[in-house]
Amino acid sequence: MPAVTKLGMVGVLGFTLLIAFINMIISAVLVASYNRSEYPTTTFKNVTRFTLFVSIFNLVFGGAYIFFILKLGTSIIASIISFLGFLFILWIFWLASGASTATAYGGRFSCSNDSFAHCNQILAMEAFSFINFIVIFVAFCGVAFLGFRATRKGSGITAPVAA
């Protein structure tokens, strides 16, 4: 069972890294493009930059957690409680990214308006943010279940994720 858990967590993190990488590319292109011209509003400026930050945060720390799970599997760094905390922070960040992008539209902007540059890219950025939000929520529930099971066995929430 530990090998299945380890591979499952690495697979879920790998998928979130893929989505974060796609979102990083989209948001980096938007930031660069809008820096050359003008942002439609200050809100779009903040949203695209925040999404870029969240994507990079996910890539750096998600990659680190993959390393922790694979190489330092019995360490406190790769414990259930540590992983739950990390997933919770990511979950909040991706929710904030997707929700702020949705709020930035506010019903005032439409992709049928030719003067609104990069509308479809912003919609893609929002969609990928919500995809990561959902995947991380499911992963959080799975790790919480592992923590509950580990507590019932007596090893506690400081037990390794893959144990």
Residue 160 lies in a domain: no
Select from 160, 76, 90, 103 the least CA-distant residue to 131: 90
pLDDT at 141: 92
Q: Please report the pLDDT score of residue 65 as a whole number.
A: 86
Radius of gyration of the chain from Cα atoms? 18
62 within domain boundaries: yes
Domain count, the chain: 1
- Domain, as residue range, for 78: 2-153
pLDDT at 2: 66
At 74, give phi and psi (nearest 5°): -100, 5
What integer pLDDT is reported at residue 1 of this predicted model?
A: 41
Per-residue pLDDT averaged across 137-154, rounded?
A: 83
- The residue ranking higher by pLDDT, 78 or 90, is 90
Would you say residue 88 lies in a domain?
yes
94, part of any domain? yes
Mean model confidence pLDDT for the chain: 83
Which of 154 and 92 is assigned the larger pLDDT? 92
Stretch 113-133: mean pLDDT: 84
3-state secondary structure 68-102: HHHHCCCCHHHEHHHHHHHHHHHHHHHHHHHHHHH
Would you say residue 142 lies in a domain?
A: yes
Assess whether pLDDT exceeds 90 at residue 119.
no
pTM as predicted: 0.85
The pLDDT score that the predictor gives to residue 156 is 62
More confident residue, 136 or 67: 136
Tell me how far CA of residue 24 lies from CA of 35, 59, 146, in angstroms: 16, 9, 30
Q: Is 74 exposed, middle or buried (0-12, 13-18, 19+ CB in 10 A)?
A: exposed
What digits encode the pLDDT tens for the residues 8-58?
888 989 999 999 999 999 999 999 988 887 777 778 888 999 999 999 999
CA distance 126 to 141: 23
- Answer yes or no: is 25 within a domain: yes
Instruction: Give the whole-angstrom CA distance, residue 121 versus residue 58.
Output: 20
Average pLDDT over residues 113-130: 83
49 assigned to some structural domain: yes
Spatial distance between the Cα atoms of 109 and 125, rounded to a whole number of angstroms: 15
Residue 159, in any domain of the structure = no
Over residues 105-125, the mean pLDDT reads 75
